[in-house]
């Protein structure tokens, strides 16, 4: 299973709607998720479907109840919000330490890149201590810059989701 997590108002829902193929425009409005959304995403060749479970940012205390059989984690942080980067980093560290997610692959999505200045990506990665973190944890972390509004990074995220090696490993039973 694939799960999408991140702090409140980080852009998870809009990103997943864009990934699903919904028409997104400047007038599009998204209500913060209070609960769970299930989003079905098709592979680029339309041969495979993947269900992603989005758990709202207000549900942080119960995220751990959704970690069974998770092999991919999409973790979304609003890169235009310095306060959220700091708070989101703490949540990311707690996810990486979670025993049920030790075998999971992580996609760290720096979203709302269309609303931030170019140097913000580097600042976000520095604030998250990503280089050090990658050395200290066993999970693979892929960084993707994205925008749910413009669609930037959506194809890269789709490729990461439908990576054949990871999908094959996910279908094997864990010992």
pTM of the model: 0.88
Domain residues for the domain of 87 are 2-171
pLDDT at 168 over 70: no
Q: Of 32-36, 88-92, 102-106, 157-161, give the lowest mean pLDDT range.
A: 32-36
Grouping H, G, I as helix, E, B as strand and the rest as coil, residue 60 is helix
d(CA 15, CA 78): 11
Give the residue-averaged pLDDT of 82-100.
90
Q: 140: domain CATH number?
A: 3.40.50.300
What would the pLDDT profile of 44-86 be if each residue is shown by its tens digit?
A: 888 889 999 999 988 999 999 999 999 999 999 998 888 888 8
Residues 103 and 134 sit within 8 Å (Cβ to Cβ): no
Q: What is the mean pLDDT of residues 18-27?
A: 77
Structural domain count of the chain: 1
- Please report which confidence band the pLDDT of residue 174 belongs to, taking 50, 70 and 90 as the band edges: very low
Of 22-26, 79-83, 166-170, the range with the highest mean pLDDT is 79-83
User: What pLDDT shows up at residue 65?
Assistant: 94
**What's the pLDDT score for residue 25?**
66
Question: Can you tell me the mean pLDDT for 102-111?
Answer: 94
pLDDT digits (tens, 9 = 90+) for 5-22: 999 989 899 899 989 988
**118-147 pLDDT tens trace:** 667 778 888 888 888 888 898 999 999 888
C-beta neighbour count of 15 within 10 angstroms: 30
Token pair for 16: 């997943």
């Amino acid at each position: 299973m694939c799960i999408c997590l991140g702090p409140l108002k980080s852009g998870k829902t809009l990103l997943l709607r864009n990934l699903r193929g919904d028409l997104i425009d400047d007038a599009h409005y998204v209500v913060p998720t209070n609960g769970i959304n299930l989003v079905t995403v098709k592979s680029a060749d339309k041969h495979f479907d993947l269900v992603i479970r989005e758990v709202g940012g207000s549900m942080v205390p119960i995220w751990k109840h959704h970690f069974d059989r998770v092999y991919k984690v999409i973790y979304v942080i609003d890169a235009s919000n310095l306060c959220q980067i700091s708070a989101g980093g703490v949540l990311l560290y707690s996810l990486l330490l979670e025993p049920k997610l030790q075998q999971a692959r992580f996609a760290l999505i720096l979203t709302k890149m269309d609303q931030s200045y170019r140097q913000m990506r580097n600042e976000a990665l520095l604030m998250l201590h990503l280089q050090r973190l990658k050395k200290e944890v066993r999970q693979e972390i892929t960084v993707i810059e994205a925008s749910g509004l413009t669609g930037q990074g959506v194809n890269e995220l789709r490729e990461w989701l439908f990576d054949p090696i990871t999908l094959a490993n996910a279908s094997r039973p864990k010992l």
